[in-house]
Amino acid sequence: TDRNFIDLVDAGPDGIAAMLADALDRKAARAGWPRGRVDADAPLAGYTLAMIFEKNSTRTRVSFDMAMRQLGGTTIVMDAGTMQLGRGESVADTARVLSRYVDAIMIRTDDHEKVQEMAEHATVPVINGLTDFSHPCQIMADMLTVLDRTGKLAGTVWTWLGDGNNVLHSIVEAGSLMKFDVRAACPEGYDPSPVVVANAWTRGSRFAVSRDAAEAAAGADVIVTDTWISMGQDHVEEKLAAMMPYQVTEALMARAAPDAVFLHCLPAHRGEEVVDAVIDGPQSAIWDEAENRLHAQKSVLLWCFGRL
Ligand code: CP
Ligand code: NVA
């Protein structure tokens, strides 16, 4: 059966666990392999993924493209601006047409409703490659990184610092599904969506936002942040000033557990949300995290095709 991957809740704890296990297996199976090899089982041979970008991307674009190639399939990558979508063809009609050609669609867009609309009208799986509301593919890679590094996910404590944005939304959702604790410290006016928080609470999450970065970081297993200005947002000095107390510094890392891991989805704005000494420091897992997008994306694709 085909499945959409619009938010982590679509997969639920069992689906997420299956994807993480598969990603770890495939990652291990490729370790030390020569370049240029397709995974031995080539499970998506003959399949094509279409990717639509309404916003810039490096990691999502290349990791999904390589994920399909390593699974034996292929991709078509399109910038929305050069599609008829970019001059007014509806999301619904685009979904209907692409469904006649390709086996799955990934879309990165500003408006979360566009992904939902795409999924409603497509007859092939639709994957959320980031919206203004969430970034579930990223958090699959983040969970994989923590699991790979520490051997555990449930019971870990993740502290988010800075803007209550799309990436935090997916982390809060992930924590409530996979039973890890999430805390955030955000300046007033930049809290995450109350809907996301309420949904997490109904699943038993103890998620809370504080205004105190040092307090939120205390004893954490994971310290995670993201740009203060997301794609599509204006570069407002006022916001940068409000965020400054939430910058991830060495002093802040020292508040976390001694073996705490630093995560950042990238791209980073060094000297804003994080200083060089942390992002380039021994606790930083950012390059593994970026690599894990590839392994995680493969599992997302397989899950969407009902193979997991
Ligand atoms: N983290 C992430 O989604 O990166 P890109 O914007 O480069 O895809
Ligand atoms: N919050 C960022 C994430 C980029 C991968 C953005 O939406 O621009």
138 is in an annotated binding site: yes
pLDDT of residue 123: 98
Joined together, the tokens standing for residue 196 give: 């996301």
Q: Which atom of ligand 1 is nearest to the CA of 290?
A: 1
CB 150 within 8 A of CB 174: no
pTM reported for the whole predicted model:
0.98
- State the ligand closest to the CA atom of 60: 1
For ligand 2, whether the C-beta of 166 sits within 6 Å is: yes
Distance 128 CA to ligand 1 centre (A): 12
| Domains of the chain, earliest start first | 8-134+293-304 (3.40.50.1370), 138-289 (3.40.50.1370)
Q: Is 226 in the pocket of ligand 2 (CB under 6 A)?
A: yes
Q: Which residues are catalytic?
A: 108, 135, 138, 226, 265, 293
| One-character DSSP codes across 71-137 | TT-EEEEEEGGGSGGGGT--HHHHHHHHHTT-SEEEEE-S-HHHHHHHHHH-SS-EEE---SS--HH
Does the annotation flag 84 for ligand binding? yes
* pLDDT given at position 35: 83
Amino acid of residue 228? W
Report the atom number in ligand 2 closest to the C-alpha of 265. Answer: 5
Mean pLDDT of 182-189: 98
pLDDT by residue (tens digit) across 74-91?
A: 999 999 999 999 999 999
pLDDT of 122 above 80: yes
pLDDT of residue 96: 98
pLDDT band at 7 (very low <50, low <70, confident <90, very high): very high
Q: Does position 287 have pLDDT exceeding 90, yes or no?
A: yes
ipTM of the prediction: 0.99
Question: What gap in Å lies between CA 142 and CA 292, rounded to an integer?
Answer: 8
CB of 132 within 6 A of ligand 2: the answer is no
Q: What's the CA gap between 186 and 176, in Å, rounded?
A: 19
Helical H segments across 151-249, by residue range: 166-178, 194-202, 213-217, 237-243
Report the separation in Å between the CA atom of 230 and the middle of ligand 1, taken as the mean of its atom positions.
11
Query: What integer pLDDT is reported at residue 235 of this predicted model?
Result: 87
pLDDT for residue 272? 98
Q: What is the mean pLDDT of residues 259-287?
A: 98
202-221 tens-digit pLDDT: 999 999 999 999 999 999 99
In this prediction, residue 211 carries a pLDDT of 98
- In angstroms, the CA 163 to CA 88 distance is 32
In which band, very low, low, confident or very high, does the pLDDT at 181 lie, cut at 50, 70 and 90? very high
Mutate to test the pocket of ligand 2, among 133, 265, 269, 289 (most ligand atoms within 8 A of CB): 265
Quickly state the pLDDT bin for 93 (edges 50, 70, 90): very high
Taking only the tens place, the pLDDT of each residue in 26-67 is 999 999 877 889 999 999 999 999 999 999 999 999 999 999
Give 128-168 as a DSSP string.
Answer: E---SS--HHHHHHHHHHHHHHHS--TT-EEEEES---HHH
pLDDT of residue 33: 75
220: left (phi over 0), alpha (psi -120 to 50) or beta: beta
Locate the ligand 2 atom nearest the alpha carbon of residue 138 and give its number: 5
